Amino acid sequence: MLSKSIESALNNQIKIEAESSQVYLAMAVWAEVKGLEGVSTFMYAQSDEERQHMLKLVKFVNERGGHAKISNLEEPNDSFTSFKEMFQKLYDHEVFVSKSINELVHISLQEKDYATHNFLQWYVSEQIEEEALARTVLDKINLIGDDKGGLYLFDRDIEKLTVTTASSETTL
């Protein structure tokens, strides 16, 4: 059985994951409208993944005798000055999510809720991967700079990254 404070902290994380899904959906739309097909495919996939993160928490809260809360969501930013800015925002957002997961882990230990602590380890590993992936993408973008040909190749390659991520490889 979840304590009230753990239930409320997990429900807060459900909102954060749902908002992450919206944040990346808005990025997918922006990229699609700009004609960056590969980038938009990548972002649509990220958005789907965040929804899975959210659902995993919903199921956990309900299975442990709590009541998952489905909240109103913050409207995401949907305009970017460049795709580099957009990926910087993705990275910053993942750092924010990692902090929030770490805080949850801290609360679960304080409350001696080892089942929740164990459940959260999946998110801890996931955040390491997501931050690393976002950093890899940012490094690539910095290498390209303003080169149009480089952007074309980046857009083509990031689509492959989406496919390989699905089979849990993260090489670009």
Kindly tell me which residue out of 130, 133, 161, 165 binds ligand FEO, with binding defined by CB under 6 A: 130
Residue 19 in the binding site for ligand FEO (CB under 6 A): no
Kindly tell me which residue out of 7, 17, 19, 113 binds ligand FEO, with binding defined by CB under 6 A: 17
Kindly tell me which residue out of 10, 14, 18, 20 binds ligand FEO, with binding defined by CB under 6 A: 20
User: Least distance to ligand FEO from the beta carbon of 140, Å?
Assistant: 19
Per-residue binding letters, 34-63, with ligand FEO (x by CB under 6 A)? ----------------x--x----------
Residue 155 in the binding site for ligand FEO (CB under 6 A): no
Distance CA(68)–CA(126), nearest Å, equals 21
Distance CA(65)–CA(49), nearest Å, equals 25
CB 151 within 8 A of CB 33: no
